[in-house]
Structures are given as structure tokens and as C-alpha cells.
Amino acid sequence: EAQVTQNPRYLITVTGKKLTVTCSQNMNHEYMSWYRQDPGLGLRQIYYSMNVEVTDKGDVPEGYKVSRKEKRNFPLILESPSPNQTSLYFCASSFRLAGWDTGELFFGEGSRLTVL
């Protein structure tokens, strides 16, 4: 089954304790992205990757890191989490994003993170 898998789905942690949210897709998609979703603010892009070893900042990259060593995986790293990073996080992938031929974004089920 074609899917984007995120782990963990739920996490409660404390300020400053490094954590990683994993994301894996089995559709051989080139493009992957991380979003956070907060009430009233919609989806805000954190980082994206157009292909292996190519990553770029989105609109809200501060406090986050990513890597794209393999095509299927795109982990999101919070080196020193703070309470303002409490949010619902989504990983998404697409065959490509290129002008008029913008592909469908496939989303994971989300990871709800609480930082105390």
C-alpha cells in the first residue's frame, strides 16, 4: 500500500531533550516536506527536499533540522525542543513539484508533539 509513515504518532517530552520524528514513503517520490499545523494558522512549511541531499528552508525552519540521505526517508530533528514547538506535525511527499505540473501531496497521519 502506498503510504507515508510517521513515527511517533504521539510524543510528550520536556524542554531541551533532543528528539527525532521519522518519515518514510514507499512511493519513490522525489519531493518531501515537513509541515506543522496549529489552530487558525493552517499548515506552515518547515523544510522541504526536492531530492536526495537537497534540502531547503520553508517558512518556519527555526529550531528544526532535516536530512535527506535516502530517497525514502526525511527525518525531522528538534535539537532542543521548546514549548512553542508543541504542534501537530505532518510529513508529505510528492512525485514532484514543478510549475503547472504540481503533483498531489501525500500526507502521513501526523505526529502530535507536546513539549513541556
User: Residues in the site for other proteins, rule: CB under 8 A?
Assistant: 4, 35, 40-45, 48, 58, 90, 92, 97-100, 102, 104-110
Nearer of residues 82 and 102 to other proteins, judged by Cβ: 102
How far is it, in rounded angstroms, from Cα 41 to Cα 28? 30
Of residues 52 and 88, the one with the C-beta less far from other proteins: 88
| Secondary structure element (H or E) that encloses residue 35, with its range | strand 31-38
Q: Are strands 111-115 and 10-13 parallel, antiparallel or unpaired?
A: parallel
Q: CB of 53: closest distance to other proteins in angstroms? A: 18
Nearer to other proteins, 47 or 81 (CB): 47
Distance spanning both ends of the chain, measured CA to CA: 36
